Amino acid sequence: MAQRPTNLARRAGLGLIAPALALVIAAALSSLLLVSTGDDVGGFWTTLTTKPENRNIVNILNYGLVLYLSGIAAAIGFRMNLFNIGVEGQYRIGAFVAAVVAGEAWLPGKANIVLAVLAAMVAAGLWAGIAGLLRVTRGVSEVISTIMLNAIAGLLVGYFVQKVGVSTGVSRSTKAIPEESWVGGIKLFDGVPTQLFGLALLAPVVGVVYYVVLNKTRFGFNLRASGASETAAVASGVDVKRMIIVSMVFSGVIAGLIGMPTLFGSAHNYGSSFQTGIGFAGIAVALLGRNHPIGIAFAALVFSFLQDRAGLLNILAGISPEIVAVTQGIIVLAVVIAYEIVRRYRANLERAHVAQQVEEVRA
Amino acid sequence: MAAGVDAGKATESVRVVGITKRFPGVVANHDVSFAVTAGTIHAIVGENGAGKSTLMKILYGVQKPDEGQIEVNGKPVTLSTPADAIAQGIGMVFQHFQLADNLTVTENIVLGAEKLHGIGAAARAEILRISQAYGFGLDPDELVESLGVGERQRVEILKVLYRGARIIILDEPTAVLVPQEVDALFANLRELKAQGNTLLFISHKLDEVRAVADAITVIRRGTTVDTVTPASVTSRQLAELMVGSELPSPSTEESTVTDRVLLQLRDIEVLDAAGRPELSGIDLTLHAGEVLGIAGVEGNGQTELVEAIIGMRKASRGTVTLGAEDITTWSTGRRRELGIGVIPEDRHRHGLLLDSPLWENRILGHQTRPPSVRGPWIDRSGARADAARIIAEYDVRTPGIDTSARALSGGNQQKFIVGREMSGDPQLLIAAHPTRGVDVGAQAAIWDHIRAARRDGLAVLLISADLDELIGLSDSIKVILRGRFVGDFDPHTVTPEQLGSAMTGAGSD
């Protein structure tokens, strides 16, 4: 097994080529687009390549960690071949429920936080479970049902905010969380008022749990087997219907955490200004990160970085910040294509390698 | 007997010479040669996996052969895409209909061929003309969703005629039809023939083939064995050509059959989605140390039988008992834990995670048992060590346990599955076509393992279409036909004629 290390190195190398290729393609196409619209390409790149201010680094980390949670939520579904497009709706349900529970403050101080976070997980998990149940009992594609559930979640939450919320002057939102139940920030740089959300630390914890459960447990094996080949999983005794419901619920449970860092760290209530779109971004992040806990972290940071720079583009180079959304979109498209090319190349390479080794044994 | 091949060239619609097609690790077709006389119905018969589908894909331009030539109407042609085949007047009617339910007959037919007669009255008139010419009796304006299976098939045939096909390939056209519809189809085929079309008819139902074909080419293990006329052979002889008649002497090993009953099926009935019985009245008793062979032409209930035993399909009636346990209502997982090993019929769909490394494939089907798991945790080192043991003991040719299953050849994949299913002390081994698509060396090894399992006191249910295999390994043989057992045979005394008759329902002649 002398060639094993080089083999491993080659595998790892191939794994990195795809995302690198995707980023290069996205950079090239975005530049081309800017040239064709007569925008300042130089300014675009200067803005993107300048080291962010300390304040911006904190923002990038905050948003990146939230995106990470969203990416993991989507990745759980993907590993099972379930396209949970509903992370967005699940996260809004979760954030709303947590805001109400925390706002009511039935428990004092830190216990209130724990209760609210658990409530968010349960609510979002159940909401995602609806799609799993529909898929298993009625054969409804989870793509369709989660998209619809997103719309319903948005309207439902909006309705209840009006119903149970309090007026904040300009609009309505849930009751503010009492200050004793806020989660303080973590100071990263001296003299910078922006701090890292305390609950953003949930992200690395979730990442580790995701990795361990998926790769080290029987449940994770069954989940991956069901995703890799449903027929083989059924024949091997996995109850795939149960797995569909369970993994949908787990995906939702993690989605329920997405809103927590912001809710307890800065917003302190849930209203119409609560950030949206994180659930959809999570799908892209999971794709770019290949559903791998480290890959998703990298992808979340890339997306978060681009998002942060978008505002500056307008100010410094006079470029519409929407170009960043275009770039993110191209990255996702390019990455899907690049992964498929690399996957095929790798499969052929391995097959040739096996054939050659077997020939040597025979000779 | 090779009359068709030597007939005059001018009257040949299709001539295939020396076609070979390789896939990594497998030769799907090698040296396939036959000729189809113009204006005849020519049948291609062979077991599933014999290479019929690959051959048809080559003729329809879906796949390119590695070697060999195709001549259409006397001229060599290269068929790179289905469009090339259609341009040569070759049309294909697939087994699984490719129709849009919510469109009318006319809309379905013109879809993709709008340039021929437009999409309006001219197209409708042409469809009506073809339908009347061949007695199809189709209403161009009817929605496809309101048509029966037989009518849908006629729409498919009309589709290829509309596109100008004069050579029509039909892939197992009777598989989806009830007997009356089969008769109607055959009447249509004869009418098509009478008007000068050439038909290539693929099937493994020998009585049907003999009823309708003018010439029959037999394919076995990827190559053409012979071309015969229906008048010159019996169904039995045809069955022998299909599955091979070189019979080895039945196993001379001493019987190890005990009187301990391991598996018992009583009056099992399995229904398909439409409520038609796929298995009915199945009774079966299998003892420890016994190999019970199930013979039958493919598609007569073998798959359903396996799935009923391992719990992938629920029996609508009857009981399944393993040892002392009534497992009728048990899940697949529980049944496998009790000690059922399965070598599945379709190893890619049911036996392997193709893109996972071998050591993870060792866990598949054994998710609740050591050495691959410890409680709720995957025992990585245990699974890896045991995968290495299987590779060594079962002579799986692979660079190592980190190689993905997909990279291995069919025979090595199968040896790995056999090794895995023999792990964890099974009481019952179900082996469905265990040597299909594997090379000769692996075949002998797998046979040895099945014999060893029998010696160790396992009960083995062997399902095969290969008579050599069944007679060489079994202690007793049951024949399955249309979802029922129709005969019991002793492999020491049975003749291939007897088995062939029972398998094809040809009666006792």
Q: What is the pLDDT of residues A86-133, one digit of tens each?
A: 999 999 999 999 999 999 889 988 899 999 999 999 999 999 999 999
Q: How far is A154 from chain B (nearest CA, A)?
A: 34
Chain B residues with CB-CB distance to A1 below 8 A: 400
CB contact under 8 A, B367 and A221: yes
Tokens 């996995």 found at: A238
Question: Residue B99: is its pLDDT beyond 70?
Answer: yes
> Which residue, among B295, B292, B226, has the nearest Cα to B263 in the 3D structure?
B292
B348 sits in which H/E element: none
CB contact under 8 A, A237 and B331: yes
The span from the CA of B439 to the CA of B434, in Å, is 12
Residues A213-248: b if buried by 16+ CB within 10 A, e if exposed = bbeebbbbbbbbbbbbbbbbbbbbbbbbeebbbbbb
Question: Residue B508: is its pLDDT beyond 50?
Answer: no
Question: Residue B497: is its pLDDT beyond 80?
Answer: no
**Pseudo-torsion of CA B230, B236, B242, B246, nearest 10°?**
-130
Over range B423-441, report the average pLDDT. Answer: 83
The span from the CA of B16 to the CA of B5, in Å, is 9
Angle between helices A278-288 and A293-312 (to 10 degrees): 130
Residue A261: predicted pLDDT: 94
> Nearest-CA residue of chain B relative to A343?
B355
Among the partner-chain residues B331, B353, B380, the one whose CB lies closest to the CB of A225 is B353
User: Looking at the DSSP assignment, which residues form a beta bridge with residue A166?
Assistant: A173
CA distances from A87 to A128, A264, B187 (A): 8, 20, 57
Vertex B63 angle, CA B60 and B64, to 5°: 105
**CATH number for the A52-319 domain, one of 2.60.120, 3.30.70, 1.10.3470, 1.10.510?**
1.10.3470
Task: Decide if A171 touches B, using CB distance below 8 A.
Answer: no
**Token output for A15:** 């794994």
Phi and psi for A341 in degrees, rounded to 5? -65, -45
User: Looking at the DSSP assignment, which residues form a beta bridge with residue B291?
Assistant: B460
pLDDT tens, position by position, B314-370:
999 999 999 989 999 999 999 999 999 999 988 889 999 998 999 999 999 998 888
- Name the DSSP class of B213: -
Residue B18 in contact with residue B67, Cβ under 8 Å?
Answer: yes
Q: How far is B333 from chain A (nearest CA, A)?
A: 4
Report the percentage of chain B scoring pLDDT > 70. 92
In a 10 Å sphere around its CB, with 0-12 CB exposed, 13-18 middle and 19+ buried, how is residue B288 labelled? buried
> Nearest-CA residue of chain B relative to A348?
B407
CB contact under 8 A, B408 and A354: yes
Among the partner-chain residues B366, B373, B399, the one whose CB lies closest to the CB of A353 is B399
Q: Where are chain B's structural domains?
A: 3-243, 248-339+426-509, 350-424
Over range B394-414, report the average pLDDT. Answer: 85
> Nearest-CA residue of chain A relative to B369?
A218
Residue B249: predicted pLDDT: 42
> Nearest-CA residue of chain A relative to B332?
A237
Q: How far is B301 from chain A (nearest CA, A)?
A: 18
> Nearest-CA residue of chain A relative to B356?
A228
Q: How far is B89 from chain A (nearest CA, A)?
A: 35
Residue A66: predicted pLDDT: 95
Over range B165-178, report the average pLDDT. Answer: 83
What Rg, from alpha-carbon coordinates, does chain B have?
A: 25
What is B3-243's CATH topology?
Rossmann fold (3.40.50)
Residue A318: predicted pLDDT: 83
Please give the order of strands across the beta sheet that includes B340-343. Answer: B340-343, B428-432, B459-464, B291-295, B476-481, B484-489
Q: In the A/B pair of chains, how many CB contacts fall below 8 A?
A: 102
Q: Where are chain A's structural domains?
A: 52-319
pLDDT tens, position by position, B108-134:
999 888 888 888 889 999 999 999 988
Residue B8: predicted pLDDT: 44
Task: Decide if A10 touches B, using CB distance below 8 A.
Answer: no
CB contact under 8 A, A357 and B399: yes
Interface test with B, best of A4, A229, A360 (most B CBs within 10 A): A229
Domain B248-339+426-509 is classified in which CATH homologous superfamily? Answer: P-loop containing nucleotide triphosphate hydrolases (3.40.50.300)
Q: pLDDT tens string for chain A (363 positions)?
A: 344 445 556 666 777 888 888 888 888 998 999 899 888 888 888 888 888 888 899 999 999 999 999 999 999 999 999 999 999 999 999 999 999 999 988 998 889 999 999 999 999 999 999 999 999 999 999 999 999 999 999 999 999 998 888 887 778 888 888 888 888 888 888 888 888 898 899 999 999 999 999 999 999 999 999 999 999 999 999 999 999 999 999 999 999 999 999 999 988 889 888 888 899 999 999 998 989 999 999 999 999 999 998 888 888 888 888 888 888 889 888 888 888 888 888 888 877 777 676 655 544
Over range B18-47, report the average pLDDT. Answer: 83
Among A105-109, B180-184, B375-379, whose mean pLDDT is lowest? B180-184
Asked if the domains B3-243 and B248-339+426-509 are classified in one and the same CATH topology, the answer is: yes
Which has more confidence, B264 or B2? B264
CB contact under 8 A, A235 and B351: yes
